[in-house]
Chains A and B, each alone.
Chain A
Amino acid sequence: MTDAHISVRDLTMAYGSRVIQRDLTFDINHGDIFVIMGGSGCGKSTLLKHLLGLIEPSQGDILYAGESFVHATPERRDSMRRGWGITYQSGGLFSAMSLAENIELPLQLYTDYSASDRADIIAYKLALVGLDGYQHFYPSEISGGMRKRAALARAIALEPDILFFDEPSAGLDPISSSLLDELIQQLQASIGATVVMVTHELPSIFSIATNSVYLDADSKTMIAYGDPKHLRDHSDQAIVRQFLTRTASHPAKEHT
């Protein structure tokens, strides 16, 4: 009996005739904080979009708790997605809605809570991310870090089994970034969700990740899989060690 929550099998991703990554096969276990890492343009966000079903793979399958997502009917996909919470790189909050309305939307659509219960849940979810009292603010009225936290509050509105993050620390100062990491870790520990994160922020990777995959832009496939701390010290791939130790891969050569 495998503990895999998400299984990627022989996945090939391509835009038309341009292959981004091929033959990706790995598992994400229940309760993992799993990081998808790699250099710029290697296809990290594209892989996340495949996991979310926003892009169809050219080949291969993605299984959630053993069930194929790629071959599921649209209705079944929608019902599987209801167990997920997602925060996008830009937050993905609906700009025409207040923070309360943003969090209320999934509750309104998929639960039978009364309006007053929903208001209580909104206050509770915002309190979890340190934004209680900001119910009536619009995304444009708060800072980038607060937007990310508000997006996290929306992502956990339906108490998901899986939380997806696309570059959660991008554009944040080190303190906000570290607070967000802590928050993700605490929430993961308390709700027991599996976390899948696209990032290349080394402090985030080392402080919270329990497992990872490294996508290589040159060979167009995964070249490392495992605990990032272990990969940093023992990976047989020099590029992976360089990435995880922040060493320039193409040092300037001296002309004579």
Chain B
Amino acid sequence: MKPSMPMTSTSPLFELLTDQQDGAVLVLSGDWVQGQAHPGFDKLQHDLKKLGPKAMVVDGAALGAWDSILVAFLLQCFNLCRDQHISFHSRALPATAKSLLQIATAVPAQAPLSSVPQPWYATFNFHRPLRHLHKTVRESLEFTGELTIALWQVVTFRAHTRFSDFLGFCHQAGPDAFAIISLTSVLVGMILAYLGAEQLSQFGAEIYVADLVVIGTLREMGVLMTAVVMAGRTGASFAAQLGTMQTNEEIDAIVTMGISPVEFLVIPRILALVVMMPLLTLYANLLCIIGGGIVAGGMGIAPLLFFNEGKDAMTLAHLNVGLLKSVVFGLLIAVAGCRAGINCGRSSAAVGKATTEAVVTGIVYLIIADAAINILFQQAGI
């Protein structure tokens, strides 16, 4: 901001002198610019307290070049004088610096936001996570309650849910995801076959790679990989869409139209993902088995042999386990995404946070659900 920069700069200095009228003169000299070692304000504070003058004059006659650092120093001096009831004056300061100081000291500082005294325990750190936990639990319960009411409204055909929105989200969650699901499924099938072949070849049982790939895919890997991809893709997208609507006051507009945002925005998204997940899982299963077949072929297992062996391993029970999981995972991913979006704050940073929360929560939900379902089926002997 300042004017001229000298070819060779001199160190900034100050000197506190006393004058005859029970006052002090602060003489500034040198170049008060960036890159110079500035004299510490603490020393001045100490000297001034010791001297205890009634007035202080800042003398800038010997100043060289200057930038914001000078004004910051002057402001500190001004505040110190004000706090210690010392009358503050200046002479021969650069006109711009003086004018900036006037502006900085003219507007009173904004009063602190909270005027209500906080309880003693609020100052401890443990209060914050507890408060956060309380907020999260309350929001989750509220969301679950609203979702249950909205689902009942859907069942009784009284919901403000548009079929066209449902179809749009089906397209977004289904056909639009084919490319990424195809890639991950083929690769997961190949990885599964490699792992199995490596171990089974030690016993001369390579042919059982087909069983491993088919059962592993139908019960676990096909649906789990699809769910992880959908959590990162669609769950995050739901959170970002709803979060942005919150920021743009679109959700306020829906509420004040007398429409439940859960019925209007959340239900079509959840239904779309719940309907599309089993279809995507079937598609992923097929490609996963094809991927496994390719690797098995490379290891000397004839394709026909692989598919014959695989066909024997493919039972309706295995297929149904995967499909049941896909419905549960679809529900959990959509709920995690929509909950994060609906409870999003009103800033762009909050949208980013909601998106991250949607993905992390979605993946955690689906891993817990997967473990629970597996234990349940194992106990039931399915």
Chain A residues at the B interface, C-beta cutoff of 8 Å: 17-19, 49, 52-54, 77-79, 81-82, 84, 86, 88-96, 105-106, 109-110, 218, 250-256
Find A88's partner among B105, B118, B249 (CB 8 Å cutoff).
Answer: B249
Q: Which residue of B lies closest to A17 (CB)?
A: B116
State A110–B245 Cα separation when bound (angstroms). 23
The residue on A at minimum CB distance from B257 is A106
Q: Verify B253–A78 contact, CB threshold 8 A.
A: no
Residue of A nearest to B252 (CB): A54
CA distance A246 to B116 in the complex (A): 32
Taking a contact as CB atoms under 8 Å apart, the answer to whether A19 and B115 are in contact is yes
Does residue B108 face the partner (Cβ distance < 8 Å to A)? yes
A sample of 21 cross-chain residue pairs with beta-carbon separation below 8 angstroms, ordered by A number, consists of A17-B118, A18-B113, A19-B116, A49-B252, A79-B258, A81-B257, A81-B258, A82-B257, A82-B258, A84-B256, A90-B248, A91-B249, A92-B249, A95-B244, A250-B107, A250-B108, A252-B102, A253-B102, A253-B106, A255-B88, A256-B89
B114 at the interface (CB under 8 A from A): yes
Contact yes or no, A88 B245, CB < 8 A? no
Kindly identify, within residues 99 to 139 of chain B, every residue whose CB is under 8 Å from any CB belonging to chain A.
Answer: 101-103, 105-108, 111, 113-116, 118
Nearest chain-A residue to B254 (Cβ)?
A: A94
Interface residues on B, range: 20 to 34
Number of A-B contacts (CB under 8 A): 79
Cross-chain contact of A109 among B98, B118, B250, B257 (Cβ < 8 A) = B257
CA gap between A256 and B57 in the complex, in Å: 9
The listed residue with most A CB atoms (<10 A of its CB), out of B114, B241, B244, B257, is: B257
Are B113 and A95 closer than 8 Å at their CB atoms?
no
> Is B255 an interface position by the 8 A CB rule?
yes
A-side interface mostly? loop
Known A92-B250, A253-B106, A256-B89: A53·B256 in contact at CB below 8 Å: yes
B contact set with A: CB distance below 8 Å: 88-90, 98, 101-103, 105-108, 111, 113-116, 118, 160, 241, 244-245, 248-250, 252-253, 255-259
Known A94-B250, A95-B248: A254·B102 in contact at CB below 8 Å: yes
A160→B124 CA distance, assembly (Å): 50
Q: Is the pair A78, B101 in contact by a Cβ cutoff of 8 Å? A: no
Which of B101, B111, B248, B255 is within 8 Å of A54, CB to CB? Answer: B255
Most A Cβ at <10 Å: residue of B98, B103, B244, B250: B250
Write the nearest CB–CB distance from A63 to chain B, whole angstroms: 18
Across-interface contacts of A94 in B (CB, < 8 A): 245, 250, 253
Residues of A within 8 A of B252 (CB): 49, 52, 54, 88, 92
Contacts of A91 in B (CB 8 A): 248-249
With A and B bound together, what is the CA distance between A90 and B348 in angstroms? 14
Instruction: For B88, list chain A residues within 8 Å (CB).
Output: 255
Q: Across the interface, which residues of B come within 8 angstroms of A96, CB to CB?
A: 241
> Does A88 lie within 8 Å of B253, measured CB to CB?
yes
Q: Pick from A89, A251, A252 the residue with the most CB of B within 10 Å.
A: A252
Given A79-B258, A81-B257, A250-B107, verify A92-B248 contact (CB < 8 Å): yes
> Are A18 and B116 closer than 8 Å at their CB atoms?
yes
Is B257 a contact partner of A18 (Cβ separation < 8 A)?
no
**Closest-CB distance, A90 to chain B (whole angstroms):** 5
Q: Which residue of B lies closest to A102 (CB)?
A: B253
